[in-house]
Amino acid sequence: MRLRSSNALRRISLRHLLTHTGGWAGDYFDDTGRGEDALAVMVGRLNRLEQLTEPGAVWAYNNAGYYLVGRFVEILSGKPLDRALAEDLFSPLGMRSSFVLPEDVIARDYAWGHNVSKRRAIVARPWGMTRSAHAVGGVVASVEDLIRFAQGHLSGGILNRRLSNAAHATSVQAGCGIDAMGLGWFINERGGERCVWHSGATNGQMAHLCLVPKRGFAAAVLTNANIGGDFCADVIHRATRDFLGMAESRRSPLRLSRRRLSEYVGTYVAQMSDRILRMSGGSLMMVTVTKGGFPTPASPPLPPPPPIKLSFFDEGGIFWGIGGPFREGEFLRDGRGRVRWLRISGRLHRKSY
């Protein structure tokens, strides 16, 4: 294993990887072949990624960190990751409709993903992720199997109670409408209840799994469109409201002067998208420019979302719609007080001066 920063390599820990605090640019995807060494080859390429922050300093979603997590599983189990998942996770939990390799899915009923743009749905290609990316998001599962996975967490069927509690406990503070990060899980407090959850996206697919451990509750939603994220979140909100009486919070906008808003105007760049913030009628508008790179570096850009009007809920916090997870973001400043980053969709976007 190599990283671009030798200091980061000396300091990095498994907890950093599981909590998305490794600090390097995390959206790197590539096809390293179909061999059992695909993940090992991918890990060998991590030194291509820029070290943005020191390990442990800033939370920012880092897919690439999970290549390392998956590689640890391979080394400890002595198996390629897809076999370890099938034998050590899916089978013990009775997850009979969960697979990783496309050839195991092809003979079953499955939903093909779609990318929607201007009211037109286009079949998303390629269908599956590369073998090197299975640690990041390569599992194909049914809703029923996601609930079986959740039951394994709630009942201690995967981990003993001590480890399960540790996975669901706060490890670091997060952002983008997410209160905190556990070990691999997002955490939000709603009405005095702790929601432990994770969402996910691949090419034209969106998913959401939510647990409320103290209530023994779980809900899962799958959609086969790139615009399904808000639908998934709304279904989960309604389920927790109707079954558990958990109220949905809404952000209230804070009015900032035009002079203060102008401080945030500019272009913010990241691996897979740039965000352009402009003034429009006394408000801040965000235009997203997609750059491609998924599921391989040569993949063309996906359709961009429409422009979004941003509102502030405090001096550096923004939201749109009603706010909430991944409907919020924040501006982070450097030691001189200048706006350095826009953290949005979990990613750090550097302001271009």
Reported as a single tens digit per residue, the pLDDT across 228-262 is 998 999 999 999 999 999 987 889 999 999 999 99
In a domain, 123, yes or no: no
Single residue among 244, 270, 303 that ends a domain in this structure: 244
- Contact 224/204 with Cβ under 8 angstroms? yes
Q: Which two tokens stand for residue 280?
A: 């429009």
Same domain? For 148 and 236 the reply is yes
In a domain, 100, yes or no: no
Same domain? For 262 and 240 the reply is no
- pLDDT of 54: 95
Total number of domains constituting the chain: 3
Between CA 250 and CA 290 the distance in angstroms is 28
Same domain? For 203 and 146 the reply is yes
Question: Please, is 305 exposed, middle or buried when counting C-beta atoms within 10 Å of its C-beta (0-12, 13-18, 19+)?
Answer: middle
* Mean pLDDT, rounded, of the chain: 93
Reported as a single tens digit per residue, the pLDDT across 296-329 is 899 999 888 899 999 999 989 999 998 999 999 9
pTM score, two decimals? 0.94
Between CA 62 and CA 27 the distance in angstroms is 7
Same domain? For 222 and 304 the reply is no
- Which one, of 147, 149, 139, 80, lies nearest residue 110 by Cα? 139
Give the DSSP per-residue string, 314-351.
Answer: SSSEEE-TT--TTSEEEEEE-TTS-EEEEEETTEEEEE
Single residue among 49, 77, 105 that ends a domain in this structure: 77
Same domain? For 267 and 231 the reply is no
Same domain? For 151 and 183 the reply is yes
Same domain? For 198 and 273 the reply is no
- pLDDT of 248: 79
In a domain, 280, yes or no: yes
Same domain? For 145 and 238 the reply is yes
Same domain? For 266 and 291 the reply is yes
- pLDDT of 157: 67
Same domain? For 284 and 227 the reply is no
Residue 219, beta-bridge partner list: 210
Same domain? For 175 and 236 the reply is yes
- The CATH number linked to 279 is 2.40.128
In a domain, 164, yes or no: yes
Q: Which residues of 122-153 are buried (b: 16+ CB within 10 A; e: fewer)?
A: eebeebbbbbbbbbbbbbbbbeebbbbbbbbb
Q: Among the listed ranges 16-20, 25-29, 114-118, which one has the minimum average pLDDT value?
A: 114-118
Single residue among 35, 58, 77 that ends a domain in this structure: 77
Same domain? For 262 and 287 the reply is yes
Between CA 287 and CA 276 the distance in angstroms is 5
In a domain, 289, yes or no: yes
- Which one, of 131, 140, 129, 127, lies nearest residue 74 by Cα? 131
Length of the chain as a residue count: 353
In a domain, 195, yes or no: yes
In a domain, 157, yes or no: yes
- pLDDT of 156: 73
Reported as a single tens digit per residue, the pLDDT across 99-111 is 999 899 988 989 9
In a domain, 236, yes or no: yes
Domain that holds residue 53: 6-77
